[in-house]
Amino acid sequence: MSSESEVIDQFVEQEYKWGFYTDVETDTLPPGLNEDVIRHISGKKEEPEWLLEWRLKAFRHWQKMEEPRWPHVQYEPIDYQGISYYSAPGAKDKDRPKSLDEVDPKLLETYDKLGVPLHERERLAGVAVDAVFDSVSVGTTHQEELAKHGVIFCSFSEAVREHPELIKKYLGSVVPYTDNFFATLNSAVFSDGSFVYIPKGVRCPLDLSTYFRINAAETGQFERTLIVADEGSKVSYLEGCTAPMRDENQLHAAVVELVALGDAEIKYSTVQNWYPGDEDGKGGIYNFVTKRGICKGDHSKICWTQVETGSAITWKYPSVILRGDDSVGEFYSVALANLAQQADTGTKMIHLGKNTRSTIISKGISAGKGQNSYRGLVQMGKNATDARNFTQCDSLLIGSRCGAHTFPYIEVKNPSAQVEHEATTSKIGEDQIFYCNARGIETQDAVNMIVNGFCKEVFSELPMEFAMEAQALMDVSLEGSVG
Amino acid sequence: MLEIKNLQARVEGKAILKGIDLSINAGEVHAIMGPNGSGKSTLAQVLAGREGYDITDGSVAYNGEDLLDLGPEERVREGFFLAFQYPVEIPGVNTTYFLRAAVNALRDHRGEAELSAVDFLKLMREKIQLLELDESLLKRSVNEGFSGGEKKRAEILQMALLDPKFAVLDETDSGLDIDALKVVAGGVNHLKRVDNAQLVITHYQRLLDYIVPDYVHVLVDGRIVKSGPKELALELEERGYDWIIEEQVA
């Protein structure tokens, strides 16, 4: 008969199943960051002059900035000169593949292994995938079908070449290059990412998805995603990510910008499963990400759903600026901090327009020695007449060595605005487990049942296949814990 | 069916059960009564396999098997059932889902096919009528926000679904008004057969007006100090426990 504490230990010792490394030839810049590096990245991508200038402005600004110290996380100082800022599969002098047929089979195999096949025959039905490997996109599926509807879905680099007017108009329009330390660094060195444009009145026929894979050692991943939903359009976008197991920490500093024009709707879902490091906190990804959307037009809607099970440290606050009247912002989050993981995550809902509404449902799960913080800002601007927010923030503790923290910030400048905040903290108790046992349910199944019950409101916001993946991932990430 | 011999158990170093002997056959209903702190609930928890109890001596044979050697979930699969004195709330876990998981864990153990959602609902509808439970409860989270009476009735519903061979009812009557008590007792009586047995733990005799035991045992300070026919319960009701304790001392 296994004791509950043993079961916790098994939870904590669960192995990371995506930790393999793909041995491919790469074109990798030596570690270090200066203006030449930025020129080099920009040159590699054959970028126009204005974009190089934008990067350089960001870099110069970054040099004057300080790394934020307010997050409730601890880590050794990052040596920004010790990181390589560009790594792409393929030899230096080779042209980039023109289509998926020309992509190195090893790369395709990697994505097969990750469960995201890119081949024509096996690719996921109903989901178009952009696969980003280290610093570059290796291919995007279903492009032709999307093109029929006028939907643009391609790598960021391709968008810079093919649709410069859209990039110029929207790049940095939600997260300016001066925004914060990590976003500014990203603006200087970003390598690739995905670009989406949904034309007026189009309901995107497929779910769009980007799968991020960090492979190379000692490199950072700095991707940038920009999604523009034109008036009356609708899109659902999914993001997944994994990385090999390494003893060193790796920096992932991404920026995601969403723009929803009048009556447009963007649903952005993330299942984040970067390598979390081991139980002593060795290795793992530093996931320092800026995600923000703007509901620019009236009656627009942006919904962020995130399931964060990976990363050594998570620092991200997917936010919505509710500028259009009657616009809606939603944030549904499950964040797991197991092993020695630290998560400081939440959202910002900035209400500017009249009758804007936002909903925040945050579920934090702490296990092992994990530290989980919810940090959220709800701001009601002076013109946000009749704006409403509802926040529910629940924490679940598994075991006695972990921690849960809540930092809610509320600023109200309009007297007609309504803000509601509810918070709970509970512990998976021995008595709950025993109760399940006493009904014939095994401890592991009981824990999964309790955790999934706790996450239900968030999982139900995910697209179907993703919800199942998230649930399975949660079960695996938590295999064995309670006490 | 159940043979308890010299069972001794400690909690945090303190002796609570000091040598229990009890033998229960199929088709029998036994009642255990006793003052607060006599070890009644400890006995129930030890039989169910709860952790935190240090069993220092004795044995429990269940259909010839060593019960104490089995994990709590294994006991359930062998037909053991405990109706909790304080049923536990599990937020976010739908009651129907929970009950189906429990029933299917049992069926799986017996090598039977899992019940589909439809078949399970049919089975459950049949059982909830027995307990006069509101069907809407089944859509809610396990025990969450249930009234005291609803929780106890839900326990008996679970008992009806799992159809145990040996059931322990730990103060199932506490917190019930007389109408609820009748319903719960009716449910339990309905489940009684010649091939199963029940151990009813209670503080008050009034439950035994409805669940009529074959034997009554009095537990005082970790030992069964007196056993007798059902009339013993009435005597206890009238005279309290003190006379037994005095008899012991004398």
User: How does DSSP assign A63-94, residue by residue?
Assistant: HT------SS---PPP-GGGSBS-EEES-TTS
Residues A137, A158 contacting (CB under 8 angstroms): yes
| Closest CA–CA distance from residue B106 to any residue of chain A (Å) | 6
Torsion sign over Cα B185, B187, B190, B191: negative
Closest CA to A303 of A241, A258, A352: A258
Amino acid at A132: V
| A244 DSSP 8-state letter | -
Q: Do A439 and B51 touch (CB under 8 A)?
A: no
* A428 CA: distance to closest CA in chain B (Å): 9
Distance CA B104, CA A330 (A): 37
Please list the alpha-helical segments (H only) found in chain B.
40-48, 72-77, 95-109, 117-130, 148-162, 178-191, 231-239, 242-249
User: Residue A356's pLDDT is what?
Assistant: 98
End-to-end CA gap in chain A: 15
- Residue A436 burial (CB count, 10 A): 27
The token pair at A332 is: 């549904």
Sign of CA dihedral B186, B191, B194, B200: negative
The CA distance from B35 to the nearest CA of chain A, in Å, is 24
Kind of pairing between the strands at B29-33 and B215-220? parallel
The residue to which tokens 């929207």 are assigned? A170
Non-local (6+) Cβ contacts of A94 within 8 A are none
Which parts of chain B sit beneath pLDDT 50?
Answer: none
Residue of A1, A2, A450 lying closest to B90 (CB–CB): A450
Give B-chain residues touching A445 at CB under 8 angstroms. Answer: 101, 105
Q: Which residue of A has its CA nearest to B68?
A: A1
For residue B247, count other CB atoms closer than 10 A to its CB: 10
Quote the pLDDT of residue A90.
66
Q: Do B84 and A436 touch (CB under 8 A)?
A: no
Nearest CA-CA partner of A100 in A130, A138, A62: A138
Q: How many other CB atoms are found less than 10 A from the CB of residue B157?
A: 22
Transcribe A327-363 into DSSP letters: -EEEEEEEEEE-TT-EEEEEEEEEE-STT-EEEEEEE
Question: Are the Cβ atoms of A437 and B72 closer than 8 angstroms?
Answer: yes
Instruction: List, in order, residues 6 or more apart from A470 with CB less than 8 Å away.
Output: A271, A307, A334, A455, A459, A462
Q: CB–CB of B91 and A454 under 8 A? A: yes
Using CB atoms, which residue from B84, B94, B105 is nearest to A440? B105
Residue A240: how many CA atoms within 13 Å on its side-chain side? 21
B79: contact with A, CB 8 A cutoff: no
- Taking one residue from A and the other from B, the number of pairs with CB-CB distance under 8 angstroms is 83
Tell me whether 0.90 is exceeded by the ipTM: yes
Longest Cα separation, chain A: 69
Rounded Cα gap, residues A463 and A181, in angstroms:
32
Beta bridge mates, B18: B8
**Using the beta-carbon criterion (under 8 Å), do A449 and B72 form an inter-chain contact?**
no
Token code pair at residue A342 = 């630290």
Supply the pLDDT for residue A37: 93
Q: Which residues of A touch B100 (CB under 8 A)?
A: none
Report d(CA A280, CA B208) in Å as an integer: 57
User: Which of B41, B47, B51 is the best residue to mutate to test the A interface, defined by the most A CB atoms within 10 Å of its own CB?
Assistant: B51
Whether the Cβ atoms of residue B72 and residue B82 lie closer than 8 Å to each other: no
What's the gap in Å between the CA of B137 and the closest CA on chain A?
Answer: 16
Q: Which residues of B touch A3 (CB under 8 A)?
A: 51
Residue at A151: amino acid letter: V
Kindly state the tokens that stand for B190.
């309905």
Partner residue opposite A441 with nearest CB, options B50, B73, B87: B73
Contact B101 A441 (CB under 8 A): yes
Record: contact A434-B90, CB cut-off 8 A: no
- Nearest-CA residue of chain B relative to A444? B73
CATH architecture designation of domain B2-249 = 3-Layer(aba) Sandwich (3.40)
State whether residue B82 sits within 8 Å of chain A by CB: yes
Query: What gap in Å lies between CA A366 and CA B153, rounded to an integer?
Result: 34
Do residue A441 and residue B105 have CB atoms under 8 angstroms apart?
yes
B6 neighbors B175 (Cβ within 8 angstroms) = no
Query: Tens place of pLDDT for every residue, chain A, 483 residues?
Result: 334 444 434 444 456 766 677 777 777 888 899 999 999 999 988 999 999 999 999 999 999 999 998 888 888 888 999 888 888 776 555 556 667 677 777 777 777 776 767 765 555 556 777 777 776 676 677 888 899 999 999 989 999 999 999 999 999 999 999 999 999 999 999 988 899 999 999 999 888 888 877 777 677 889 899 999 999 999 999 888 766 666 778 888 999 999 999 999 999 998 888 788 888 878 888 899 999 999 999 999 999 999 888 888 999 999 999 999 999 999 999 988 888 889 999 999 999 999 999 999 999 999 888 999 999 999 999 999 999 999 999 999 988 889 999 999 999 999 999 999 998 888 887 889 999 999 999 988 898 888 888 888 888 888 776 777 777 777 777 765 543
Q: Token pair for residue B172?
A: 């199932």
> Is the Cβ pair B71, A437 closer than 8 Å?
yes
Cα A357 to Cα A301, A323, A394, A452: the distances in Å are: 10, 11, 21, 27
Query: Which chain A residues are within 8 Å of B70, Cβ to Cβ?
Result: 1
Q: Provide the 3-class DSSP secondary structure of residue A148.
A: helix
Q: Where are the domains of chain B?
A: 2-249
Alpha-carbon gap, residue A167 to A173, rounded angstroms? 10
Instruction: Please state, as a whole number, how many other Cβ atoms lie within 10 Å of the Cβ of residue A476.
Output: 15
Tokens 């292994």 -> residue: A113
Measured between alpha carbons, how far is B105 from B77 in angstroms, rounded to an integer? 8
Classify residue A235 by its DSSP letter: E
Q: A401 is written with which tokens?
A: 């060595």
d(CA B235, CA B228): 11
Chain B hits for A435, Cβ within 8 Å? 84, 87-88, 90
**Could B105 and A443 be called an inter-chain contact, meaning their C-beta atoms sit closer than 8 Å?**
no
pLDDT value of residue B48: 96
Which pTM was predicted? Answer: 0.81
Q: Which residue of A has its CA nearest to B85?
A: A435
Q: What confidence score (pLDDT) does residue A137 get? A: 72
CA distance A455 to chain B (A): 8
Q: Rounded to an integer, what distance in angstroms lies between the CA atom of residue A14 and that of residue A8?
A: 10
| Residues B101, A438: C-beta atoms closer than 8 Å | no
- Compute the nearest-CA separation of B234 from chain A (Å): 32
A440–B82 C-beta distance less than 8 A: no
For A440, name the nearest residue in chain B, comparing CA atoms only. B73
The pLDDT of residue A3 is 42
A-chain residues within 8 Å CB-CB of B78? none
